[in-house]
Structure 1
């Protein structure tokens, strides 16, 4: 950026003279130079991707004069254009200011003034000089001053004209510099755009080079893989060649062996020819025997046709016998009673000994007792209640004896005798219990509704009875019943029946139905119980129903349901079921017939409900302190539903004795409403009462026995078969 030359003043009054003529040319040139420097700095700061803006240059008209630069040279070059230094006209030196009335300083008075003499109004003259002479001197000085002023004004006018001409020349130079600047700005923008395009082309070329490198690397990798593949093929071919050579050697040995064999066979051929003649003679004899056998075969064919006809008659008789069997089986079940009660007493477990070790008479501190330091047999004898099973033949009675102290201090003994359809002692196995239930599983395939539910206090073995343990010997009633149904369905195929099995598993927790096989979370769906009075079936809305294909599938479903069931620890059981679980197995069959005997088209639908009720116990026994409000609320809900079950049983008993249309309070709880068809006579119902053998649970056991006796004495209607003919 060029700088304008510094102007030097030649007289003290030059600034005063130029101030009347407007802004000076050096000031304008300095302003223009600052604008050019600013535009160039902005262009340097801009990036290549963004075009620079050129500052607009116009006629410079500063409002105030600019001081000349002290460092400017006399001659300055702007973009390669030389400019001449600017000069100012030099004004003549004035010896006296404009408009002065006093005489010049170079004139000295000739004499001191004397007393003033008034010659005219307003004029004072000296008393020592004549008036005419002083007036002439004044006129002379005035003319001199007037001529000086005239010369000054003429010099100023000349300077102004010369200055105007210089300013016009400088303006022309500035305009030329601005044009040069615009041209250079355009050239710079063009160069920048070209540089940007070259950079883009360079980037594009670098991308192409990179792509070519990648392509080349891929081709190199492909070639290396091809080389490896060729090497592998060469190895395989070499191995094949080796195998072929070995095979060739082996074949050569075989050929040599065959040649030797042929030589031996040629000798044997002669012998065989002789034998052939002998066999031909034997063949002639055999043909005669074949004729005899053909006549025998024809006779056997007639007998086979008669046997097949007899077999078809037997199949028809078997189908008719199946119908008779179903009727007789149902009659047997009805004679046993449509509602039956089994009682099962569990054995004393090692955990019971540890739990109630404080009540044992073993010496030593109770806190230091462990399962290994206690005599197991002695501990069981002390903890077990006085239970007896006098009926050793039919196993239908259980006797409980208890002793207590009266108010007078005398020992009072009480004996309670209860009878049920079957009583299982502590030594009974799961297989023995299911043997009595297996006939009910047969009724399901015949088209009847069957309900089996386990009742008892917490820790009495209900879940073990229904679901069982891990091993096959400890399998519960649910997996055994399902396996029995599958086995019966498979056997019935030979009699012309085909069955479809479906299963569902739900729980009733705090009067809320939860789907144990559902995919969602609990309480997200509202499940409702629906009864069909025509078919006698019960359905629950929005419940996951799984098609069953094998008993192993049922075991996996039981594992899933057991992991999702609501359980908690109480004072009577570490893992107590806090809900009622209901496993429902629906069976639908159709008689399609067998080969050679068309089916009747009869359809039957049955269901098997296996219910594991929650533990029943008194609130003060299960939660003595009542600190766990959630467990207390669960226990209250459980006892309420079981109490509703007792009310239904009692109402059914009164209805059976007195008859009439007595109201049965099924809707008092979700449990009784769900089991309505199982308790109203449309189902074959079995209650398995589970008892604890511990003396500490004697009162709870007596309460459960009394309730089971009430159920056993209840009479309900006859179960109806759910079948139809298509």
Structure 2
């Protein structure tokens, strides 16, 4: 609502209040008294009530702003103007009391809202109560004339009040009309203001759009100016470079002119030389024609040589296949289970002499310690003969002789290299895809560990490192023929029918290992066993050293440091030829068996007697099971049937070597003998067992094709 309108209403109401206050302060009219009926009724006449039937005025009373929409802004609240209370006066008898009026007050800032007009209503009461009211201090009249004059005076005052109220109503109507006019003007002003605001917003948007378009045009013009400036700089640089080039060209032209003059002098000389060169070209052309024919013939020869080389390579691959087949045939002719016998030399520890003993004493002791052994077959080296002299119960001397024949007999002077020369053919079969098992058998101290593992030097190297070296050498040679090989190895120990992993990081006997056979691929796996990829022979030597340090050994009367367990080194070889599409998979088992001495020969000491006895019983049980398996295989081979039961499960050793002892493998037993006479009985037992093995036929070995 506009402030002018609010102030006008407030000013009008305030002026009205000021007039009434001035009336109270100045000539205050006599206070009205309640009318007394002439018939003696003590109730006063009811005051007149202003009845407003005008709906406009009712609307005005509803919203305080007149008819029309509610105000857009909250109306200004003004303080309600009230008249000061009239002073109390004492009306003397016979004089009418001064009349007191209350000015109308406005509740809202417009002043044209709810109004109060007309005389104040005096509640009905009896004349006696009115007479006794302390507000009027009325003194009862002494006679009726005075009372009538007072009533008349009161009626006159009421008429004056009615006139005054009519004037106030006229003023209120005028104010209400002004209020309506101002409200309509205010609504028109607001509508115009909204229209102006919309025009202002539209104009502002147009100005922003113009500013953006102008800014974009300015930016484009600035970019165009920069491009023009850059192009000008480039053109200036081109002009500068062109000028420099022009200067150099001018200098070059001057130099060329001098050169032309010099060249004109040499042109005649060159013409003569050209003529001479043309003659040489003719000669060279004839020579070139002859050389071309020679090159063509050489190309023909090269193509023929290339074809011959390819044919030879094909023949070489075919020859390798034939060699493998012939090699396997030779090994089969020799027997799929063979026995070699090796007699170790006499060691200084066998003689029991002190260091620095005389040579004659050493020779005498040596002859006394040696058993009577002979090697009658000097050409093929396949026989060994033992003899002994003893006395019978009658005191007569009795001589006994025993002759044994094997596939090969090595005398004490034979070296490790000579022994491996015979074994190397089996190692070759492993690379051809066959299962091979080589195990050393003999009593404690007969040289089994030395034969299989060897000593620290190159010359004393055993069968295991030599076989591995040969496998690596052969696989490297076959690489040129298209073969690619991968190798892996494991080293196990069987002690008291328990499998230990000699290459594992855990403590021995801490894991339970189980043997698993695959009947389809004829391969054997041991659970939780460490299998390491092999890349070089040096790695194998270090693994053998680690395994040897962890192997279970003990001291017996037969040997100061005796092997009390079976060690099994397994080398798995997988090969594939991309040229021929062939593949193979072979396994090489190199076994160092425990000592095969009898219980009556083994000595024990103190607390370890039960342990040594248990070890010997376990060793003999496994060796006996090995003999039973070989015997059963021999019977199966002679009968030619497949229903013969082979007792592989009687020991962990035979069950582990099941695929290497069956007819699908090549087996070699190296019998180690002691040359001492004290060990003659043990040597005879070993020779008899070896003869039994040598007379066994286990069938034909089968090549293992790589699966997958």
| TM-score for the superposition, normalised by structure 2 | 0.59
C-alpha displacement of 1:627: 5.2
Match of 2:265 in 1: none
* Preserved CA contact (<8 Å) 2:574 2:706: no
C-alpha displacement of 1:662: 2.5
| Matching of residues 331-480 of structure 1 within 5 Å | 331-354=329-352, 369-370=354-355, 372-373=357-358, 375-480=361-466
SS in 1 for 2:444: coil
Match of 1:554 in 2: 540
Distance, in Å, in 1 between the alignment partners of 2:559 and 2:570 is: 27
* Preserved CA contact (<8 Å) 2:392 2:398: yes
| Structure-2 change in CA distance of 1:350 and 1:724 (3 Å) | closer
Distance, in Å, in 1 between the alignment partners of 2:516 and 2:678 is: 42
| Matching of residues 186-265 of structure 1 within 5 Å | none
C-alpha displacement of 1:291: 4.8
Q: Of 623, 637, 643, which aligns to 1:656?
A: 637
CA deviations 1:546-569 (Å, max 9, x no partner) are 101111110011011011111111
Distance, in Å, in 1 between the alignment partners of 2:665 and 2:318 is: 25
SS in 2 for 1:621: coil
Residue 673 of structure 2 is aligned to residue 687 of structure 1: no
C-alpha displacement of 1:283: 7.9
C-alpha displacement of 1:719: 1.0
C-alpha displacement of 1:601: 2.2
Match of 1:676 in 2: 658
SS in 1 for 2:645: coil
Match of 1:646 in 2: 627
SS in 1 for 2:635: helix
| Structure-2 change in CA distance of 1:509 and 1:387 (3 Å) | same
Distance, in Å, in 2 between the alignment partners of 1:425 and 1:529 is: 38
SS in 2 for 1:720: coil
C-alpha displacement of 1:602: 2.0
| Matching of residues 454-533 of structure 1 within 5 Å | 454-533=440-519
Q: Of 689, 695, 701, which aligns to 1:713?
A: 695
C-alpha displacement of 1:371: 5.3
* Preserved CA contact (<8 Å) 2:637 2:698: yes
| Structure 1: runs of 5 or more not aligned | 1-275, 358-368, 593-598
* Preserved CA contact (<8 Å) 2:556 2:604: no
Match of 1:31 in 2: none
C-alpha displacement of 1:435: 0.5
C-alpha displacement of 1:620: 2.4
| Matching of residues 535-574 of structure 1 within 5 Å | 535-574=521-560
Match of 1:296 in 2: 294
| Structure-2 change in CA distance of 1:280 and 1:605 (3 Å) | same
Distance, in Å, in 1 between the alignment partners of 2:614 and 2:452 is: 25
Match of 1:612 in 2: 592
Match of 2:189 in 1: none
* Preserved CA contact (<8 Å) 2:453 2:464: yes
Q: Of 631, 646, 660, which aligns to 2:612?
A: 631
Match of 1:308 in 2: 306
C-alpha displacement of 1:632: 2.2
C-alpha displacement of 1:331: 0.8
C-alpha displacement of 1:498: 0.4
| Structure-2 change in CA distance of 1:541 and 1:289 (3 Å) | same
SS in 1 for 2:697: coil
C-alpha displacement of 1:294: 3.4
| Structure-2 change in CA distance of 1:302 and 1:413 (3 Å) | same
Runs of 4+ in 1 over 6 A off after TM superposition: 279-287
Distance, in Å, in 1 between the alignment partners of 2:544 and 2:600 is: 32
C-alpha displacement of 1:320: 1.5
Distance, in Å, in 2 between the alignment partners of 1:601 and 1:486 is: 21
* Preserved CA contact (<8 Å) 2:604 2:612: no
SS in 1 for 2:631: helix
| Structure-2 change in CA distance of 1:615 and 1:302 (3 Å) | same
CA deviations 1:130-181 (Å, max 9, x no partner) are xxxxxxxxxxxxxxxxxxxxxxxxxxxxxxxxxxxxxxxxxxxxxxxxxxxx
Match of 1:666 in 2: 648
Distance, in Å, in 2 between the alignment partners of 1:391 and 1:538 is: 40
- Max Rg structure: 2
SS in 1 for 2:600: helix
| Structure-2 change in CA distance of 1:408 and 1:441 (3 Å) | same
C-alpha displacement of 1:406: 0.6
SS in 2 for 1:458: coil
Distance, in Å, in 2 between the alignment partners of 1:349 and 1:315 is: 52
SS in 2 for 1:460: coil
| Structure-2 change in CA distance of 1:562 and 1:387 (3 Å) | same
C-alpha displacement of 1:590: 0.6
Match of 1:696 in 2: 678
Distance, in Å, in 1 between the alignment partners of 2:607 and 2:385 is: 37
* Preserved CA contact (<8 Å) 1:580 1:611: yes
* Preserved CA contact (<8 Å) 1:601 1:725: no
Distance, in Å, in 2 between the alignment partners of 1:626 and 1:590 is: 57
* Preserved CA contact (<8 Å) 1:577 1:615: yes
Distance, in Å, in 2 between the alignment partners of 1:485 and 1:618 is: 37
* Preserved CA contact (<8 Å) 1:465 1:476: yes
Match of 1:329 in 2: 327
* Preserved CA contact (<8 Å) 1:460 1:691: yes
Distance, in Å, in 2 between the alignment partners of 1:725 and 1:671 is: 26
C-alpha displacement of 1:659: 4.6
Distance, in Å, in 2 between the alignment partners of 1:659 and 1:435 is: 33
Distance, in Å, in 2 between the alignment partners of 1:552 and 1:404 is: 51
CA deviations 1:329-377 (Å, max 9, x no partner) are 11111110000000000000111112xx5xxxxxxxxxxx545246222
| Structure-2 change in CA distance of 1:466 and 1:702 (3 Å) | same
SS in 2 for 1:622: coil
Residue 569 of structure 2 is aligned to residue 583 of structure 1: yes
C-alpha displacement of 1:634: 1.4
Q: Aligned Cα RMSD in Å?
A: 2.2
C-alpha displacement of 1:399: 0.1
Distance, in Å, in 1 between the alignment partners of 2:412 and 2:544 is: 25
SS in 2 for 1:394: coil
* Preserved CA contact (<8 Å) 1:353 1:371: no
Distance, in Å, in 2 between the alignment partners of 1:725 and 1:352 is: 52
Distance, in Å, in 2 between the alignment partners of 1:428 and 1:585 is: 26
